[in-house]
Structure 1
Amino acid sequence: MNAVTGSLQQISMQDTLRDHPSSMLQSANCLLSFVKLVQCWICQNVDARKLTNEETSVAVLASFSKSPQRSTRRMSLESGISRTSLRQILTTQKWLPYKLQLLQHLNEDDPDRRTEFAEWAKQKLEQDPQFTQKILFSDEANFSVNGEVNKQNHRYWSDTNPHWMDPSKTAGTTKEMVWCGIWGTMIVGPFFINGNLKATGYLKLLQDDVFPSLCTEAGTFPEFFQQDGAPPHYGCQVRAFLDEQFPGKWIGRRGPVEWPPRSPNLTPLDFYLWGHLKAIVYGVKIRDVQHLKLQILDACAGISPAVLLSVCEEWEKRVALTIQHNGQHIEHIL
């Protein structure tokens, strides 16, 4: 660009001296103004304006390779390269921002128990391809009026998935506990729980709300009932009630089918429903508890049967992967 500018300036001065010696200064000023216009046009239209040249790209990728958790905002401040140019370089080189995954730590015997459960589920699926749709999966989750844990600012830039994980549990603040179930193409609930959930309250919830809501016009009923190993689920009265309702066919802690502990990736409510609901619920600013409940109800009502069928297929995929990976975590390969 400097060479072009110099040539234009030289030509303009020579022409002025030869043809218009009496008005040299005026003509020179006019031509210099023209040169500035040419420079502006070059800056707006010539590839030289692009920062994302090969040398810059190499430097940017080297920097992110050294510090892959650095944000594009911080990189822009340190390098002087615009965030738009940084994103263009990363996108061109097929580098992606991977999210942090929060995982529970597995104890020594957990993989064996997870594998045992997955092999049981696989056998059931071989006997009955519709088996997944005959299970009532259940779980509870806390929703906060103030929002949820935000992982959006955690990124790891790389050209390959680094399987970035954090084996820790998140904590909440002000909570509203919600019970929900997935049974085939149906959402069961949601039911809201006042205060802390104990075994007596959980039993009352099952007796008064959950099971009465399962009555259908076709007279069908879930063949299996699944719950995790949370303390309220383990009460003697709760287990006795489930033995009556689902003799030999309920899944849980010390149930006829043992539920593997620390396995949220094997229940559709954890790997799909809660995340989906929170994404919708917190799409607007929650005013109060009543508004929160209405948001949850509307979000549940908006889930289609087709989506729930896909969720069932995803569960079957996770069962197979759990067996393939000997009961270890599978989120990083999904």
Structure 2
Amino acid sequence: MHLAYGATNCNARAASRLCHERYPERQHSGYKKFITVHRRLAETDMFKTKMHDTGVARTVRTVEFKEEVLQRVADEPSNSTRDVAKNMNTSNASVWRVLHEQQLHPYHFQKVQGITAADYHPRVQFCRWLLDHIIAQPNFLRYVLWTDEASFTRDGIFNSRNSHVWDEENPYAIFPRKHQNVWAGIVDDYLIGPYLLPERLTGPIYLRFLEGVLPELLENVPLNVRQQMWFQHNRAPAHFAVQVRKYLAQRFGHRWIARGGAVFWPPRSPDLTSLDFFLWGHVKSLVYETPVESELDLIGRISPAFEIIQNEDHQFLV
């Protein structure tokens, strides 16, 4: 390139045409590259600088370099590629290429329920109680109705980090979030529900659900299962209402697991139910498979998602 630049009396456009004529089979840079190469040679006596324009050294991705990148990521998996590149005095792109070649992908952290030190004993106590009943009655889990509620955003998935409002001054724009609460349960190998609850669930509303709706949802469950069935729900405020606890004690006797129940449900323990462990993630992956267009669209997707799961070959309690 520099010889062509000199042969054309430092005419960059003419040098570019000359290179195209002499080497038609090659890929060629634009004419400005000839000027850059000449200036770099004049200033540094080198055709290539040791540093990028950003001040980051050019990197040859040797075996040693790749091993160091992988070792840094293995030592601290939450390291960003920018941090690794900065510490190694290399480019972010070089680090990305190494990780991509090794088929490594960045995964976001999952938000989970925090557990305190005081939660350990109640969780162990409940698990021991459960194991004792399973030992005494191997099919015990088939007679527990595990229940839970989950929220679905009516506006689909909204990413505040990728959404913004252009304005001369901060308009303090807000994005109102609307939720659809959905109840579901699992007993034996039966998936119960879904049932749509109001956004604000109160004790009286929940009691009407237990008295009037739940028996209808359980109609397809064999009678012998319903007669021996235990009821479980979590520690939501509506579940702890006095009238709700009175009803459960009357309806199930000692066979209910809850905050204030005959069997104490430990706090912050969603991982102990199959709904949190399996169901909701699967349902939401089906509901949000494509962008949600409206509130009615969201509601219309929930029941079909449950039907798909019901038709799959699942054994919910395994």
Q: Distance in 2 between matches of 1:129 and 1:96?
A: 42
AA paired with 1:131?
Answer: F
| Equivalent residue number for residue 106 of structure 1 | 115
Asked if the contact 1:214/1:221 (under 8 Å) is kept, the reply is no
Q: 2:192 aligns with which of 185, 188, 207?
A: 188
Shift of 1:181: 0.7
| Equivalent residue number for residue 81 of structure 1 | 94
For residue 195 of structure 1, give the secondary structure of its aligned residue in structure 2.
coil
Q: 1 or 2 for the larger relative contact order (CA 8 Å, sep ≥6)? A: 1
Shift of 1:78: 2.7
AA paired with 2:94?
Answer: I
Shift of 1:276: 1.1
For residue 211 of structure 1, give the secondary structure of its aligned residue in structure 2.
helix
The number of residue pairs the alignment matches comes to 245
| Equivalent residue number for residue 60 of structure 1 | 69
Q: 1:312 aligns with which of 305, 313, 317?
A: 317
Distance 1:182 1:308, change over 3 A: farther
Q: 2:243 aligns with which of 227, 237, 242?
A: 237
For residue 56 of structure 1, give the secondary structure of its aligned residue in structure 2.
helix
- Aligned pair 1:197/2:201, yes or no? yes
Q: 2:256 aligns with which of 250, 259, 269?
A: 250
The unaligned stretches of length 5 or more in structure 1 are: 1-28, 38-50, 151-171, 314-334
Coordinate RMSD, CA, aligned: 3.2
Asked if the contact 1:137/1:181 (under 8 Å) is kept, the reply is yes
Q: Distance in 1 between matches of 2:74 and 2:220?
A: 57
Asked if the contact 1:184/1:308 (under 8 Å) is kept, the reply is no
| Equivalent residue number for residue 144 of structure 1 | 153
Shift of 1:97: 4.9
Percent of counterpart pairs with the same letter?
Answer: 30
Asked if the contact 2:156/2:293 (under 8 Å) is kept, the reply is no
Distance 1:291 1:305, change over 3 A: closer
AA paired with 2:138?
Answer: P
Q: 1:219 aligns with which of 223, 237, 261?
A: 223
Q: Distance in 1 between matches of 2:296 and 2:23?
A: 67
Q: Which has the higher helix share?
A: 1
Deviations 1:168-212 (A, max 9, x none): xxxx93111111111121111111112300000001111121122
> TM-score with structure 2 length normalisation?
0.67
Q: Distance in 1 between matches of 2:82 and 2:307?
A: 39
Asked if the contact 1:138/1:181 (under 8 Å) is kept, the reply is yes
> TM-score with structure 1 length normalisation?
0.64
